Amino acid sequence: MRRLEGKIALVTGAAVGIGQATAQLFAEEGAHVFLADCNVAGVEAASAALSENGLRATPVAADVARGQDVTQLFRTIASNAGKLDVIVSNAGVNVRSDLRHLSDADWVRIREVNLDGVLRIARDGLPLLQASGRGSLINVASIMGHRGLRQLGGYSATKGAVLALTRALAVEYAAFNVRVNAISPGFIETAMTDRALRMPAIKQGLVDKTVMRRLGQPIEVARVALFLASEDASYVTGTEIVVDGGMLAAL
């Protein structure tokens, strides 16, 4: 039995990587998925690929850093579906820089997408999650929210804040029958990590620090999102699931 049959889901940052894999898995499990991304061509292509396979998918151009985009995103979902059973707040960016060289503009961009965008999606999406009667909000954080790594300081700061925000939202949203959890991926082979992973020494160093001696794939994060979205996780809220092949345990 498909675990999300008849459900309505939103995945942000759905054009590529973890977001795209999650949208596809949710659609295969029976959900009507709204795919949101500021990469208009990418999200339309990802949605079209699902529709061509007989799955229910709707693309929406939206930058979570822009309040007006998020407002319009939820208006579109409200007019088309009237509710949301699941939100996966996955959109994220990174600017590699030592903190002492991080410009105000780059910091603002990282913060506006990775933290402000997550809060905005959680806040403005609540009425549609309430309308479902049993909502699930999933925030994608990172193991870097627990650790410091050179040139990832800004990213780490925002992802640590997302973990704290997730706990606060879980406490507040329980009254509305909405569960809130976080997923913290380790090093997953996506467009965001491609630049670093193209350097053999860096890639091997990361593999060596991973207990399972390999990097992760987007589908492996998507499967955890499916668990949290489904009734299998009906008594799970306010928690974080780490998907990193054991890297955080060994560091």
User: 203-218: b or e for each residue (b if 16 or more CB lie within 10 Å)?
Assistant: beebbebbeeeebbeb
Whether 155 is a known active-site residue: answer: yes
Asked if 138 contacts 182 with a C-beta cutoff of 8 angstroms, the reply is yes
Choosing from 26, 34, 74, 155, the catalytic residue is: 155
- 146 torsion bin: left (phi>0), alpha (psi -120 to 50), beta (else): alpha
**Cα radius of gyration rounded to whole Å, the chain:** 17
Asked if 45 contacts 69 with a C-beta cutoff of 8 angstroms, the reply is no
Residue type at 87 in one-letter notation: I
Q: What DSSP string describes 98-137?
A: -GGG--HHHHHHHHIIIIIHHHHHHHHHHHHHHHHSSEEE
Which phi and psi angles does 129 have, rounded to 5°? Answer: -65, -40
Strand partners, 58: 34
Catalytic positions, written as ranges = 155
